[in-house]
Amino acid sequence: MNVAFIGMGIMGKPMAINLRKAGHTVFVHGRRAETMAQPVEAGCTRCASAAEAAAQAEIIIVMVSDTPDVEQVLFGDNGVAAGARPGSVVIDMSTISPTATRMFAEKLQARGIEMLDAPVSGGDVGAINATLSIMVGGKPEVFDRVRPVFEAMGKNIVRVGDHGAGQVAKACHQIVVAVTSEGVAEALTVARKHGVAPAKVRDALMGGFAGSRILEVHGKRMLDNDYTPGFKTKLHQKDINIVMQTAKELGLALPGAALMMQHLNALMGTGDGELDSAAVMKIVERESGMER
Amino acid sequence: MNVAFIGMGIMGKPMAINLRKAGHTVFVHGRRAETMAQPVEAGCTRCASAAEAAAQAEIIIVMVSDTPDVEQVLFGDNGVAAGARPGSVVIDMSTISPTATRMFAEKLQARGIEMLDAPVSGGDVGAINATLSIMVGGKPEVFDRVRPVFEAMGKNIVRVGDHGAGQVAKACHQIVVAVTSEGVAEALTVARKHGVAPAKVRDALMGGFAGSRILEVHGKRMLDNDYTPGFKTKLHQKDINIVMQTAKELGLALPGAALMMQHLNALMGTGDGELDSAAVMKIVERESGMER
């Protein structure tokens, strides 16, 4: 298929290359020209604007940072909407607001353009290895049509519901990851404060009811005090901020997520935004004077 | 081996029976005489007191509710210490305070009696099927000596460290379970409030980075709004209370665990202490007027 790919960041670049590898014709656009070099080398076609890329494709993927970025890419000057043909499908794989997503889908629909929201989890490693989890919102028939494109980038691909449902699932994902990280961080800190080896406690807990991927992966980062990302604190802060904004819109109290918002804010305040978000451990340690 | 088993509750009864099945000679004592009927039928010997049971055994297992119960069973009238021979080993499998555990171990040591703390996870199902996870604190040589007894009751058996380390690991376990439950409860509530099927969101999250046993097992309970225990709220409250008391003793801030203490308190206040502790979902729902 002819696919446009807008957004050549740490995620977009390998995803575009994987589409090319799977045999699709890929038109790429990134704000900074140099980010397109590697995908072009892999056989993608360089485009000067989102509109130019969109004009040549039946499927237009957007992978940028936040709600305003997606709005700009879709409806700004030389944006996707200015180039895309009626009948084409926009797939927004960024993590943004579910309510904004529904609005964008409506605006595109008015121009005869279909939309799916399809945020991912799995980080840059998942993007490179084409093992992303993809959470999709939108019409089932549109989902079926673009499935081969998803399969070139991910493994666990689930259509969760209608427009926005993918973003809702991603919001849920980020809540669970953040709150579980806090539980693991507090538990390992309790162990250390008691003079019990946290690594032994993690071992004892791994097989049982307290076991999780977070205990495994983030738990290891916390034990090693090594927060090389992975998934950056500043992005997790952005995502939990979306959760908190949406919670306010809906009238929904989320005390666990709210606590994690504060911890992520605290990490930003200490200049730790570039660390993996497992660094919430540092906040738990700092609070009780247990910095390593 | 000759094993005494004190405490014929929902956990102790099947654990004693499994010891008997594994070929050990088991002397049982429960406060209420009728609780001994089933183990006696399975071949265990009924004893009128903890002291009487302890006097006939080289290994004395205690499985009761809380710190004061263990203290009573060990050092009260006709307690274990009154009957146990020097050289015998007390294994406390209750979930109690790590600091009290260290004190009990010292007091027993003064009488020439060894002690291990060995709290479990896996609930009554794990007790019946002999698949408990067992977290052990105490001397390695004592642990090695009693290993066959553990193997008759559990599967994932880890010596975490010295006296109290098993209780510390269990405290960590309960923190992770409680805090992760909150994350799952908030996530599924976000989905429902958005009109997205929570079951679909759980599916989308299960395979990936947000995946956990809690999402699987408690998530299912939350979806079904069915809080048949499992592990009761009132016991989880007791355990997180131990965590909070210990945190106060040590000067350790645990905001996630503290939040869960409040949610468990709230469940107790609404008469939900007998429900499975996955019922923290009810608090999240109630807070925003989303009761089912």
pLDDT value for B160 = 98
pLDDT per residue as tens digits for the range A4-42: 999 999 999 999 999 999 999 999 999 999 999 999 999
Q: Within a 10 A sphere around the Cβ of B105, how many other Cβ atoms?
A: 23
Q: Within a 10 A sphere around the Cβ of B224, how many other Cβ atoms?
A: 11
Kindly give the residue spans of alpha helices, DSSP state H, lying in B226-279.
Answer: 233-250, 255-269
* Chosen from A131, A179, A192 to mutate, greatest number of chain B CBs within 10 A: A179
Listed as own residue / partner, the contacts of B220-223 with beta carbons closer than 8 Å and 24 or more positions apart are B221/B276, B221/B278, B221/B281, B222/B184, B222/B185, B222/B188, B222/B198, B222/B278, B222/B281, B223/B188, B223/B198, B223/B199
pLDDT value for A163 = 98
Residues linked to residue B5 through DSSP beta bridges, in sequence order: B28, B61
Q: Which residues of A touch B259 (CB under 8 A)?
A: 255-256, 259
Partner residue facing B161 (CB), from A137, A197, A246: A197
Q: Can you state the angle between helices B213-224 and B198-206, rounded to 10 degrees? A: 170
Query: Annotated catalytic residue: which of B21, B139, B170, B193?
Result: B170
Would you state the structure tokens that stand for residue A185, as one six-digit string?
């961080």
**Torsion sign across C-alpha atoms B247, B251, B255, B256:** negative
Give the architecture (CATH level 2) of B168-287.
Answer: Orthogonal Bundle (1.10)
Would you state the structure tokens that stand for residue B33, as one six-digit string?
């005489």
Would you state the structure tokens that stand for residue B32, as one six-digit string?
């209420």
B248 in active site: no
Listed by start position, the domains of chain B span: 2-161, 168-287
Q: Which residue spans within chain B are E strands per DSSP?
A: 2-6, 25-29, 45-46, 59-62, 89-92, 114-117, 120-121, 132-137, 154-161
**Amino acid (1-letter code) at residue B195:** G
pLDDT per residue as tens digits for the range A214-258: 999 999 999 999 999 989 999 999 999 999 999 999 999 999 999
* Chosen from A196, A217, A288 to mutate, greatest number of chain B CBs within 10 A: A196
Chains A, B: CB pairs < 8 Å: 249
Q: What percent of chain B has pLDDT over 90?
A: 98
CA dihedral B5→B7→B9→B13, nearest 10 degrees, is 10
pLDDT per residue as tens digits for the range A54-82: 999 999 999 999 999 999 999 999 999 99
Compute CA B111 distance to the chain's CA centroid, rounded to the nearest angstrom. Answer: 27
Angstrom distance (rounded) from CA B63 to CA B134: 13
Q: Reduced to 3 states, what is the DSSP secondary structure of residue A106?
A: helix
CB A39 within 8 A of CB A28: yes
Question: What class, spelled out in words, does domain A2-161 have in CATH?
Answer: alpha beta
CB B180 within 8 A of CB A175: no
Would you state the structure tokens that stand for residue A88, as one six-digit string?
């084409």
Q: Which residues of A touch B255 (CB under 8 A)?
A: 182, 186, 259, 287
pLDDT per residue as tens digits for the range B164-207: 999 999 999 999 999 999 999 999 999 999 999 999 999 999 98
pLDDT value for A266 = 98
pLDDT value for B195 = 97
Partner residue facing A179 (CB), from B182, B191, B217: B182
pLDDT value for B271 = 97
Q: Can you state the angle between helices A198-206 and B165-193, rounded to 10 degrees? A: 60
Would you state the structure tokens that stand for residue B281, as one six-digit string?
């979902």
**Which residues contact residue A132 at a Cβ distance below 8 angstroms, ignoring those fewer than 6 apart?**
A15, A120, A121, A122, A126, A153, A154, A155, A156
Tens-level pLDDT at each residue, chain B (292 residues): 999 999 999 999 999 999 999 999 999 999 999 999 999 999 999 999 999 999 999 999 999 999 999 999 999 999 999 999 999 999 999 999 999 999 999 999 999 999 999 999 998 899 999 999 999 999 999 999 999 999 999 999 999 999 999 999 999 999 999 999 999 999 999 999 999 999 999 999 998 899 999 999 999 999 999 999 989 999 999 999 999 999 999 999 999 999 999 999 999 999 999 999 999 999 999 999 999 9
Angstrom distance (rounded) from CA A246 to CA A258: 12
Judge: A169–B201 Cβ closer than 8 Å, yes or no. Answer: yes
Helix (H) or strand (E) holding A135: strand A132-137
